[in-house]
Chains A and B, each alone.
Chain A
Amino acid sequence: MTKTLTRRTFLKVSAAGGALLVGGYLPGFGETSRAEAAGVLEPNVWVRIGADDTVTIMLSQLEMGQGVMTSMPMLVAEELDVDWNKIKTEWVPADLKYGNPNFGGAQLTAGSNSVRGMWKILRQAGGTARALLVTAAAQSWNVEESACSTEKGEVIHKASGRRLRYGALVEKAGALPVPKTVALKTPKEFHLLGQSMPRLDIPEKVNGRAVFGIDVKRPGMLVARVVKCPVFGGRVESFNAEKAKAVPGVRNVVKISSGVAVVADNYWAASKGAEALEVKWNEGPLANLSSAEILKKYAALAEQPGKVARNNGDAMAALKGGGRSFERVFEVPFLAHACMEPMNCTADVRSDRCDVWVPTQGQTASHQAAIAASGLPAKAVNIYTTYLGGGFGRRGEADFVTDAVETSKAVGKPVKVIWTREDDIQHDYYRPITYVRMWGAVDESGQPVAFMQRIVQQSLMKRLGPLPPDGIDRISVDGAATLPYDIPNVRVEYIETDPGIPYGFWRSVGASVQGFVVEAFMDELATTAGKDPYEFRRGLLSKHPRHRAVLDAVAEKSGWGKPLPAGHTRGIAVMEAFGSIVGQVAEVSVTNGAVKVHKVWVAVDTGWVINPDTIKAQMEGGTLYGLTAALKGEITIHSGRVVQHHFNDYQMIRHNEAPEVDVHVVSSTENPGGIGEPSTAVAAGALANAVAAASGKRIYKLPIRV
């Protein structure tokens, strides 16, 4: 359900924005003309087969650790029946012909949409290439196509034992018309998909050779640090560059739209120059804003009804209808992404062209930012991507591109802008602070009869375009309006507001809030009803067999109900997020207010599987990302600025605190769901429920404080 809503959302948004997209948008297909080099078969924009049998697969979805550099080519290679060892990959530039249909045809790696958006396109790309090669071979042998099969880069005519390498067929195949679509394999026919293939990016990530954005070098390149106003919305009133320029190695000090760039021969000189720079800020209208004040306003807003995102039965009447009813208030804070690689970008702006090297999640957004900042036409602006040292939604933004392009343009030289960790923590687009009122009721028999929610949050959809006519932000209510439990009276309301703090897409986005809020509240309904939290949920999932299977699996694997060491407790949660169903059980103990997470079990149904070990890795890592936020994560606004600075006051889970995460993939033949975000969304829910079981106090606020 989530998937459909989210997709529709993006379709609507893109339609409103005038971007190209139709439902069956398949970039690279149906083109009437194709340029073909001699001895190379290029049946679409995704695959190129050389006479030497080399198969090059184009990569548009960007690699930030989630394994797309491997999973995307696997989709092509499966249908192409190619020898995996002969695969080469190539990153594509900013070019809409490589767009992701789940983002209206924009090139964007986000929302766990790489496989979901691209699997059909990439399998068709491999399948059409294969069909051309089969036709070419059949014609060469003068046999029926149906008598031919393919295997590891060869077409085989079994009856006669003849074989032809793909490379030997490229010229003949290149002269054939490209079929618009071909029949795809059924999951039973997969030989590559479903196998754990070693990730293609890992070898160069163990020897320092992998090139991240921060590693880009250009001839004559300078390095810059940008000094930004600590208060959101603040502007440079004036600055004195004298002391900054006195630092050896500092070349220029220039005002750009986000602050003042100190440009030097190397990072250390730029850094010392930035420390020496004197800036007078006009702090603007937000200089007195605080998180406490924001929450106070949100609480006042929540006194009034919101826009109705879901309504079954009559929740308000049911709340007054006897039984045990209660109201709770949940709060979650702003969160920073804290990618390990600080934001950076390298730009070389000339009079007639602009080249940009950037670790980005969105080639299209980076392209647009560079076009705007350079003032050059789109054709003159080139985006080259690198590996991303973490993304988590942060690198879908393009503020760092604007920094670099403006600075390079101002100094007339190639410039690499590198943010500090403080810049990163204090100038993020944060997971929005959220205030949620919740009401629930259980009847005498212990059945839940009402579930009602009122969510106050900045609108994430507004970052993409206008809200739909019903005023409901489907991203903000992701995980809430999609409540799977069979409760007769359900009402979900949404109230949009914007205090002015930059906000954006943080791994699992709206579901990052609801995975906690909904599942913690469901747990309280269960304990109020005097029921076991697992059995209680299970009894409400008869109409959602996938959820129930996942819940059963995670309960079984975790030994739910079996005795635990003294002081240990368990918590459980399940939800649909990004097209996958994920369940978690956390085992914890609480000693003198300190929460220790001993182990987490994850069960996930993500449809038919591409690279199983990548799913496991994403569930492991996504869980820790969610646990980190639930245990430690809080960005606080005071005087219009972020209180936290660094890893000392915005802390991460470390080796000694990291629990084992035991992942079980529940098999399914559904179309693939996302894997990068679901486990993050649900982690706080399972954890909060385990902590509540240990401490006897329900958790209504993150980060968890016992």
Chain B
Amino acid sequence: MAVSVDEAVSPGPVRDRRPPRRRSGGRGRVVIEVAVLAVLAAVMLFPVLWMIETSIKENRDVYAIPAKFFDFTVTLDHFKDVFVDSGGGPTTLSGSFLNSVIVAGVSTVLATVLGVPAAWAYSRFSVKAKKDQLFFILSTRFMPPVVVVIPIFLMYRQVGLFDTKLGLILIYTAFNVPFTIWMMKGFVDEVPAEYEDAAMLDGYTRLQAFWKFTLPLLLPGIAATAVFALIFSWNEFVFAIFLTSSDAVRTAPPAIAGLIGGTTVDWGLVAAASIVFALPVLVFSYLVRKHLVAGVTLGAVRR
């Protein structure tokens, strides 16, 4: 990665030489810029490619010194090992993937159900100290997870939510509601309130107007928001590791991290598990790429 730092510096002198180059025609400069971009893209993508390679290498090639880039034997054993254990049954890792699906899915649905109506209300009506309320909501999302998890841990231990899926679902919902409200408020703001006013002139109540006219228009936004919430809970690690202890409840991130606990690490398996884990995220992010700016800033920045 030291490589990338060097690359980052190199555009400096190039930029300094610009004025003369511009006069002599921009062709050379375009070539340099494209080359710099290509190198940077290669550096950014190399770790991902290397992980993919590792996941399909045989073990002796994984640990080969010097590293083998091209001439290795391709095998899909590591991917099989992720799901099927030596006895032929499902692995604990595959169970943790299932747990992740349940926890991320249910918490996303809950966050959507709670967040969308709230976002609509914040967008449409005058609420006392609206700005302060919205700030408070977003700031709960900024709290350091390691700090929040201490009292949550004690709380869960008290009420029996420790090491349960419900406990994880609740905390993930609480963690996604601020995001859903902020993200959805932007989408609701884009739908003119006049639609609802017109419907109400026709005799609908406000609630019916929301349900029949605004909500259908919001569906694409709701889908995008839900996908982000899903990604956030799918990727979450801190709550998952501190609020669970058994394999039956543990979600995929702590389970995958647990693979490197022992004295010897099966990196082929780690790579395969990571890829299985990351693939849905990449597919989903591609689906919501239009809303990426809003999504990754928790709905705060919209373009």
Do these two chains really belong together in a complex?
A: no
